[in-house]
Amino acid sequence: MIRVRVALPHLARSDDDERLTMRGGYTPVERMRMATPDKRIYVREVASGEYNLEEFRQQQLERARVRDSDLDIHGRPSTEHEEAESPAPWRLGPGDEDFLTQSVQVHFRNLRPGLKSGKHGHQNEAIFYILEGQGYDIDDEIRYEYSAGDTLIVNNDSVHQHFNASETEWCKILVLKAKSLYLMLGLVEQGREKSQPDESFGPREAWGGVWTEGVEDLKKVIRATDGEWVDDKRIGLIRRIVDKDEPGARCFSMDVFEQVVQPGESSVKHRHMADEVVYVISGEGESTQRDVRSDIDSKYYARVSKDERTLSIKAGDAVYVPHNCIHQFTNTGDQPLRLLSGQNRAFRHLGYESILA
């Protein structure tokens, strides 16, 4: 029996929850919310009385893999400072009832006209892809401006604040991050401004002395015009935004690229061990996926599912691609299909570099 302990305080009830309704007319999700109304799940526990995690993996693979604005399963409007009127909906997170992944978390930071967020800091990086509008960040007292199509890297150990530069237009930002990885490593020093230890600690010293030498000279804003579009024979037409093999950006936890599929065409069918989240920037199409499972004997063997999923996708959707899954994107519309892919870079440091096409 697999046991997953998780609280879900921010999950809205849907019609699908009716099948879960139990005593008292409340779903398990609603009862969990009432028991822990102020808690956010940062890392999901996986526990089992058995060494084999087959049940957990099978449940994960059976869940819906496309999430849109009707499935804001983890988000809620922020209540910090002026942020109450600016929603921050989530697409994927470790606290999801229909859990898919915690290697990549995906949510939005939508700033209404003239808004600034609260000042805060955390040890994990966050990748901000600007979907609409223009704004700027103050990160460690330095201003970084951005507009639609740009990418901002909120580096680790950064005290930062987000600003919408327009008094009339929203600034809409897609956020990708490997936050759970940092927290599993014990990097939990985070908080709002003025989060300070008690008087048993001595005077302030520079924090960045423990950083790798030279990181402060790396790029934090990647412009929409930066980088070349290349026809990667393993994937398709892509523009790498941050990547392990292309140093220069102050990003160490994520690989992110933009992809375009023209009308009537498909990307290259391929697989890799890292699971992946793909956001549909614009256009419409299909994601075809064929799962791969392990056959563990005297060594590991791969076995490909005989069944293929075909998922309809449109602008605003987040598509989940499981580990080692054979997948492909097809443009079924009359406009280019623009995609943004995010993967946790840790897989590549763990020996999973290859892409099989």
Instruction: Name the DSSP class of 203.
Output: -
Per-residue pLDDT at 87: 63
Q: Quote the pLDDT of residue 355.
A: 97
The total of other beta-carbon atoms located within 10 Å of residue 307's CB is 8
Residue 69's pLDDT is 74
- The pLDDT assigned to 199 comes to 85
Domain boundaries, the chain: 2-7+35-187+216-349
pTM: 0.86
Tell me how far apart the alpha carbons of residues 334 and 67 are, in angstroms, rounded to a whole number: 23
Q: Which CATH fold would you assign to the domain 2-7+35-187+216-349?
A: Jelly Rolls (2.60.120)
CB 278 within 8 A of CB 332: no
342, 256 contact by CB (below 8 A) = yes
pLDDT of residue 129: 98
Sheet with 120-122: strands ordered across: 142-147, 134-139, 158-164, 120-122, 191-192
- Sequential pLDDT tens for the chain (357 residues): 444 444 333 333 333 433 333 333 434 444 444 445 568 899 998 888 899 999 889 999 999 999 987 654 444 433 344 444 556 688 999 989 899 999 999 999 999 999 999 899 999 999 999 999 999 999 999 999 999 999 999 999 999 999 999 999 999 999 999 999 999 999 999 998 776 788 899 988 999 999 999 999 999 999 999 999 999 999 999 999 999 999 899 999 999 999 999 999 999 999 999 999 999 999 999 999 999 999 999 999 999 999 999 999 999 999 999 999 999 999 999 999 999 999 999 999 999 999 999
Which own/partner contact pairs does 307-313 have at CB distance under 8 Å and 24+ positions apart?
309/65, 310/286, 311/65, 311/66, 311/286, 311/287, 312/66, 312/284, 312/285, 312/286, 313/66, 313/280, 313/284, 313/285, 313/286, 313/287
